[in-house]
Amino acid sequence: MDYAPIIEKTIAKFRRSAALAAQDGLIPYQGNTARWTGSPWEGNSWWTCGFWPGLMWQLHALSGDDFFKAEARRTEKLLVEELNTFHYLHHDVGFMYLLSTGADWKLTGDEQSKTHTLHAASIMMGRFNPAGFIRAWNGAEQAGYAIIDCMMNLSLLFWASRTTGDPRFAHVARIHADTALREFLRPDGSVSHIVEFDPITGQRVAEHGGQGYCLGSQWSRGQAWGLYGFTLAYINTQEPRYLAAAEKIAANFIAHIRPDGLTDCDFCQPADEVRLDNLAGMIAACGLLELHKATGNAAYDTAARRLVDGVIEHCCDWSDSTCGILTHCTASYHDDGAGRHTNIIYGDYFFVEALAKLTGRDPMLWL
């Protein structure tokens, strides 16, 4: 497929709808209507709030249009305020600040943005439990929870070590990645979503079902976080064990791509259930394209194109009556509060990152 016209249509739609976000003064979360809606919970501290500035930086890199840079910076300011609010922040500061302040520093060299990103990395370090893992969430009963999504956030720590020359951040990232390798990766190449550890001893206590269909099932977005996250851990460290994990997860994910190229919400969901999460497919496509670069194995490129071509054929909304593009994204299998079969901002982010990779124009904001 020729992706250049798709990129042009994408830039045109966001040029119009990003102006609406600026008018409304919000950070978009869902774009399935004529105006954007903001985070479902926790205001601008919600874990997805970095994807909008990340999307704006991607579009700026693709178009050269300063309008997108201005919109990225408008929302970067809002995220910097959340560093002071602090109490809602958790391990997803990786998602939030690599794609906002981190992207600004990477693409413009802005020193203040670099400082803010280091601040976020320090918050992430503060979540490390020396019993062997990075604590995911904040609830009192969740002191021992670690989740597969964190593999993506580790990139913030690798970035901080590279940027400062201080190896502490990368040490912590490796300790967590090794715990995830040991405790999350299953023999069939699938990964668990949540593993609970004793926060005193670090011993594994339980696995929890999380956002997937049931305990022990394969929540597709979790599979995608594992795929891309271990790939990034490999790119950051060159450790073959992380590459082997990424390839194992990739093989399982590829085996579950639907014939139409779309992605089920859980690879173990009942066969008669129609529940899609194209977000998962776009995250996996980005991971597969990086795996292709790392290994030279063309099967990863082919699989990524099946996923991207699938959503272009069936699940992209180019109309002017909505703000976002990717449809049929689902936040969680059993809880529709954050969206089911709808547009969700990080779906659009990873769709555009995948298009940028496919055309050799990705600024690679995760590194």
Q: Which residues are tagged catalytic?
A: 92, 149
User: Cβ closer to ligand GLY: 60 or 340?
Assistant: 340
d(CA 219, CA 236): 26
Minimum Å gap between C-beta 270 and ligand GLY is: 21
Which helix or strand (DSSP H or E) is residue 152 part of? helix 150-164
Total chain residues near ligand GLY (CB under 6 A)? 5
Q: Which of 90, 221, 248, 340 binds ligand GLY (CB under 6 A)?
A: 221
Burial of 266 (0-12, 13-18, 19+ CB in 10 A): buried
Minimum Å gap between C-beta 276 and ligand GLY is: 15
- Please state whether 225 falls in left (phi above 0), alpha (psi between -120 and 50) or beta: alpha
Q: Which of 71, 76, 82, 149 binds ligand GLY (CB under 6 A)?
A: 149
d(CA 327, CA 344): 8
Considering only residues 253 to 292 of the shown chain, the ones binding ligand GLY according to CB under 6 A are none
Minimum Å gap between C-beta 92 and ligand GLY is: 6
User: Cβ closer to ligand GLY: 47 or 68?
Assistant: 47
Considering only residues 27 to 86 of the shown chain, the ones binding ligand GLY according to CB under 6 A are 47
Q: Are the beta carbons of 193 and 209 closer than 8 angstroms?
A: yes
Binding mask 311-350 toward ligand GLY (x if CB under 6 A, else -) reads: --------------------x-------------------
User: Cβ closer to ligand GLY: 161 or 330?
Assistant: 330
User: Cβ closer to ligand GLY: 41 or 318?
Assistant: 41
User: Cβ closer to ligand GLY: 71 or 92?
Assistant: 92
Minimum Å gap between C-beta 8 and ligand GLY is: 29
Phi–psi pair at 286, nearest 5 degrees: -65, -45
How does DSSP classify residue 142?
Answer: G
Burial of 188 (0-12, 13-18, 19+ CB in 10 A): exposed
d(CA 86, CA 236): 28
Other beta carbons less than 10 A from residue 297's beta carbon:
14
Minimum Å gap between C-beta 350 and ligand GLY is: 11
Phi–psi pair at 197, nearest 5 degrees: -115, 155
Which residues form the interface with ligand GLY (CB under 6 A)? Answer: 47, 149, 211, 221, 331
